[in-house]
Amino acid sequence: MTKTVVEREIGGRMMRLETGRVARLASGSVIISYGETAVLSTCVRADPRPGLDFFPLQCDYREKLSAAGKFPGGFRKREGAPSEKEILTMRMMDRPMRPLFPDGFIDEVQLQCWVMSHDGQNDADVVACCGASAAAHISDAPFEGPIATVRVARIYTDAGAEFVLNPSQAQIEFSDLDLVLSGHKDGINMIEVGAAEISEADLLEAMKFGIAEGITPILELIEELREKCNAPEKRMGELALPSEEVMKIVQDAIYDELVEARKLKGKKIRNDKVSELREKVLFEHFQLPEGGDYVSYKAAESRRKEAVECFRKLEKKITHMLVAEHGIRAEGRGLDVIRDIEMDTSIFDRTHGSAFFQRGETQSLVTCVLGTIKGEQIVDGLMPEYAKKFYLHYNFPPFCVGEAGRIMGPGRRELGHGSLAEKSLLGILPSSEDFPYTIRLVSDITESNGSSSMASVCGGCLALMDAGVPIINICAGISVGRFTSSDGKVTHVTDILGEEDFFGEMDFKVSGTVDGITGIQLDLKARGLDLDEVALIFEQAKKGRLQIIDQIKEIMPEPREDISKYAPRIMTVKIDPDKIGKLIG
């Protein structure tokens, strides 16, 4: 690629994209600068890995402390495992980009972003996402982008409320909205929100602002870079798609039975029947030969793998058909009906607060711990060091889905779900002046069949009230899914199951109170959403959220008047200024 530099003013600061000078052996490399923050973003496309049934995309983001003139801590004095902030940024890169690669594409693609310079004001996460998109766009990988990612805040001035694009660290401290938005020329495909009860209408206005002032001009800048840098042609390669012949065999063998199996109630009953049908079609039509040569055996094994993939695609097709064309969900619920809810508080004697929340086959046990300033979590990275007085930890053990899996520390998914629940509840907490305690919530998922993060929000709210935390409002969360029929009809469903998430096109999680939204996370497999569809989803989610809030009020209408007898007591004593000398001696 030829050395190329393009730049444009975005949000009052210059955004600069440079390629052709650094990391020239990568499939695509870009140094993206915004203010005095700079990120090296690279994309490498490797050879395909035969036998995979998924797209091996790896997104990596690292904040080099040298970028801010800092030394790493510890004895080794070098960066180690990624921090929680880095892992959440990797997810922020992955979620909008993964769906924009073709179905069946299994070439390994690796996106790496290194923060090389940081000015302490412009957060590098959204800058890195734009850089990763640009690197993939100028490579030969069949990335159907580009995408652009921006952050929008809302601050109040003498003139009233105003939106700010890619706010500085100082502006974020005065904002009641943290909106991260990703999109491409066809719509929005990733949303993350943490807010203090913002209305749906105001949030839509913030999205319009982010698209017009940030996403659209950044997309134009990335396209300009590709046009000028002599980028290679996109190369599709061989797609790992099952043959039509195998698909026909599978469909003819079990279509009608699979339709009926998808209607069964109960996750285990339904999964057992589906597994039985899968084994039936493999046994009757795709048995492995007991004798014969090696080549014949490998060919039969390959067809058997194709049959498994065809079965999965057929199950997805049937699920979309049942929901979008006939309004039939797996458990027989209506499209906007919430599963049965069971709640309880004060589950354990010695915890400062505890709650049990169950929705259908999803359960969360949440405990609350109150502490002093010693319990605050110190966060140190490129941004100025700060202390968190509230944090939520989310745990997803293998037994919650009936599996005997690896028992290990939290992964990317657990950190992402915990972050969403934490942001959702942060918007209803009292100020540190009114309630000076450090708060830790732990959500342990004991059963899971969809929307466990939203169960953590509901259970977390109950645990806070049980602990005597004077929350501003009751908070609840709900997820909305999306299905499309063969003729393009789009249907939205409330409170999705695990398989509706897996086979569906969207998991749109919305949490909030009666007065507004406090948290959002959108994961989208479809191409993109326009704002009109987002408005419809907000309306459907609000209806479900208010239903859950009404049920929470029946169990616990308001927080307990006092904290647990086992919690530490923080007393504030006001001293006459004339007697301060006697206090300090």
pLDDT at residue 585 in the model:
66
Distance CA 228, CA 233 (A): 13
CB atoms within 10 A of CB 562: 8
Q: Tell me the backbone φ, ψ of residue 458, rounded to 5 degrees.
A: -65, -50
Cα(538)–Cα(449) distance, integer angstroms: 23
> Rounded CA gap, 344 and 5, in Å?
60
Q: How far apart are CA 368 and CA 443, in angstroms?
A: 9
Going through 448-557 in order, the beta strands assigned E by DSSP cover 476-484, 490-494, 506-512, 517-524
Q: How deeply is 283 buried, as exposed, middle or buried, from its count of CB atoms within 10 A (0-12, 13-18, 19+)? A: exposed
Q: What is the DSSP letter of 323?
A: I
Pairing of strands 386-388, 362-371: unpaired
With the CA atoms of 205, 208, 213 and 215 taken in that order, what torsion angle do they form, in degrees rounded to the nearest 10? 140
- Does the domain formed by 341-475+546-555 have CATH 3.40.50.720? no
Structure-block tokens of residue 344: 């309880």
Element at 534 (helix H, strand E): helix 531-555
> Helix crossing, 294-320 with 267-285: angle to 10°?
140
Q: DSSP secondary structure string, 21-57?
A: SS-TTSSEEEEEEETTEEEEEEEEEEEE-TT-SS--E
Token pair, residue 243, equals 């043959």
Given CA atoms 357, 363, 367, 368 in this order, what sign does their dihedral have?
A: negative
> What number does CATH give the domain 4-228?
3.30.230.70
User: What whole-number distance in Å separates Cα of residue 568 and Cα of residue 557?
Assistant: 25
Total H helices, total E strands in the chain:
14, 21
pLDDT of residue 265: 87
State pLDDT tens for residues 86-123. Answer: 999 999 999 999 999 999 898 999 999 999 999 988 99
309 near 53, Cβ under 8 Å?
A: yes
Both tokens of 300, joined, read: 């039969």
Domain locations in the chain as residue ranges: 4-228, 244-326, 341-475+546-555
Question: What does the alpha-carbon distance between residue 304 and residue 127 come to, in Å, rounded to a whole number?
Answer: 44
Mean pLDDT by 10 residues, the chain (585 residues): 94 96 96 96 89 87 94 85 95 96 92 96 95 97 95 91 93 94 95 96 97 97 96 88 90 93 88 93 87 81 89 93 91 91 96 96 97 90 87 96 89 95 96 94 96 97 97 97 91 94 95 97 93 97 97 96 90 80 73
- How far apart are the C-alpha atoms of 92 and 127, rounded to whole Å? 11
Q: What is the distance in angstroms between the CA of the first residue and the CA of the last residue of the chain?
A: 72
Q: Report the alpha-carbon distance of residue 52 to residue 100 in Å, rounded.
A: 18
Beta bridge partners of 364: 357, 445
pTM score, whole prediction: 0.92
Q: Are 323 and 332 in contact (CB under 8 A)?
A: no
* Identity of residue 225: L
Can you read off the two tokens belonging to residue 448?
A: 């899971």
Q: Cα(412)–Cα(257) distance, rounded to whole angstroms?
A: 37
Query: What 8-state DSSP symbol labels residue 320?
Result: H
4-228 against 341-475+546-555: fold identical: yes
